[in-house]
């Protein structure tokens, strides 16, 4: 992992992934804050597949409720 041929980009990505694994529950708040400055890929990558599924479910349920009311 810490070899000499590792580029700075690879090192940043490795550190980012290690941090995500260490504090998976604290990443939800960070993910939504990153949504203001980052891309959707950053949001999905940091909250994981369960968080992504929950986000999609909330959006779908919200849309259905919106259509029923208006």
**4-16 residue pLDDT tens:** 788 888 888 888 8
pLDDT score for 5: 83
Considering the entire predicted model, what is its pTM? Answer: 0.44
The structural domain count of the chain equals: 1
pLDDT score for 52: 84
Comparing CA positions, the residue from 58, 53, 59, 49 lying closest to residue 20 is: 49
Residue 58 has pLDDT above 70, yes or no: yes
CA distance 8 to 58: 37
Task: Show the domain range for 19.
Answer: 8-69
pLDDT digit string (tens) for 26-57?
A: 666 666 666 566 666 666 777 778 888 888 99
Quick check: is 3 in a domain? Answer: no
Quick check: is 58 in a domain? Answer: yes
């Amino acid at each position: 992992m810490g070899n000499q041929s590792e580029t700075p980009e690879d090192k940043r990505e490795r550190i980012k992934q290690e941090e995500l694994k260490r504090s998976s529950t604290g990443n939800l708040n960070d993910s939504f804050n990153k949504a203001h400055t980052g891309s959707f890929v950053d949001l999905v990558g940091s909250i994981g597949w369960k968080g992504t599924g929950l986000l999609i479910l909330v959006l779908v349920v919200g849309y259905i409720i919106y259509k029923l009311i208006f």
